[in-house]
Each structure stands twice: as structure tokens, then as C-alpha cells.
Amino acid sequence: IKSTKKVLKNQTVMNDVFKALADPTRREILKTLRSGEQSAGDLADQFNLAKSTLSGHFTVLKTAKLVITEKRGTTVMYKLNSSVFEEAMTHVLEIFSIGEETSNEKSTSETKKGSR
């Protein structure tokens, strides 16, 4: 049961990550954060969006755990959380068996070796 809960949690996280990455504005926010943490105000200055719209984007990114927030007095600082992205990409690679030989490929290569 624990492993089922973990799988479901991973699927939820993956869904949240892909939802977050589906929007070009959120991808730009993540790109901007690659250079280091920034305040919500500094980020808002870089995007021609209403504060409520930007806040919605921040919420989606936080839900997906792609950003980490830290409150410093009245300022909210945003920082990129690349480990979640790396985890998501690992799952994508596993889905497509990239970097791994599938069982079908293994049996085909074993058959070819045996016929030599």
C-alpha cells in the first residue's frame, strides 16, 4: 500500500510539473530564476502581466515544487528548485526507455547473438 501511495504521489507531482511547464510564461519565469533567486517584485518588473495573473503563475510553480519560496520580512523570494525538474525528466526517460534497453530489444539482441 505504501508503494501505491508513493506511485500516486509521484504521478501527481509529475502532472503538476508538466502543467507548470506547459505555459510559456511559467517557462520564462523559470529561465529567469536560473541566474539566482529573485523577489516577487523583481520578477513582476520583468513581466508585463497583472499582479494577480503573475501570482497565479507563481502558485502553479509552487504547487509543482519547481520553485522554493522564502519570506524575508514582507518580501517573498523565489528560487529555482532544479531537483524536481531533474526527477521529472528522469521519469520521462524511463517512460520512453531512453538510455535503457527494453526487454524486447534485449530478446532481439540475444536472439541475434544466438544465431551467430
pLDDT tens string 47-81 = 999 989 999 999 999 999 999 999 999 999 999 99
- Of the candidates 60, 27, 55, 62, the one whose C-alpha atom is nearest the C-alpha of residue 41 is 55
pTM of the model: 0.74
74-89 per-position pLDDT tens digit: 999 999 998 888 888 8
Which pLDDT score, from 0 to 100, does residue 111 have?
56
Are 65 and 86 in contact by the 8 Å Cβ rule? The answer is: no
Which residues are CB-neighbours of 70 under 8 A, at least 6 positions away? 37, 76, 77, 79
**pLDDT tens digits for range 12-39:** 888 999 999 999 999 999 999 999 999 9
